[in-house]
Amino acid sequence: MYSVRLWTVRHARFFERVYNMFEPVLVKLHPIWSKLGYDRAEKPMSKIEQACKGLLFDCKMCGQCALSSTGMSCSMNCPKNLRNGPCGGVRLNGNCEVYAEKRCVWVEAWDGSRKMKNGDRIFAVQKPVNFSQQGSSSWLRVVRQIAQREEQAEERS
């Protein structure tokens, strides 16, 4: 919901803290996801993720969440689907070129990033959206990546 996502961006630092506490818990559960099977965990987890992030961020379940790099403003709400915005059409009042009554998603992203501890992640260029991951859980994808990195590091040591 538009008003909720504006509120969430105003509290970007709080949600950054929440996520920084949440992610290690998910990673700790890696042995369980592995035992259960990531594919089997996908459906229930993506449902939970969609419910939480849909309410707070108007999440579109792109499967490659970039919220921590976009000031807690979901770039998938940009009508041009820009992964690295803003476009040149931002209005003088900071509203969107396409939706004149709404704030530019990327103006919001910048504002949110200035409130965050790691807000400078906004300067990193985001990869284009891989739409084949649409609807999948970003949480499980991140956990699997971190767990794999940790396992590789252990093998090397």
What is the contact surface with ligand SF4 in residues (CB under 6 A)?
Answer: 78-80, 82, 85-87, 89-90, 96-98, 104-106
Give the C-alpha separation, 47 to 59, whole Å: 12
Work out how close the CB of 149 gets to ligand SF4 at its nearest, in angstroms, rounded to a whole number: 32
Work out how close the CB of 11 gets to ligand SF4 at its nearest, in angstroms, rounded to a whole number: 20
Work out how close the CB of 128 gets to ligand SF4 at its nearest, in angstroms, rounded to a whole number: 15
72 DSSP 8-state letter = T
> Does residue 128 have a cis bond before it (omega within 30 degrees)?
no
Residue 110 in 3-state DSSP? Answer: helix
Phi, psi (deg, nearest 5) at residue 32? -70, -45
Closest to ligand SF4 by CB, 52 or 98: 98
Closest to ligand SF4 by CB, 86 or 119: 86
Work out how close the CB of 16 gets to ligand SF4 at its nearest, in angstroms, rounded to a whole number: 22
Phi, psi (deg, nearest 5) at residue 103? -65, 145
Closest to ligand SF4 by CB, 49 or 108: 108
Closest to ligand SF4 by CB, 101 or 154: 101
Phi, psi (deg, nearest 5) at residue 57? -120, 5
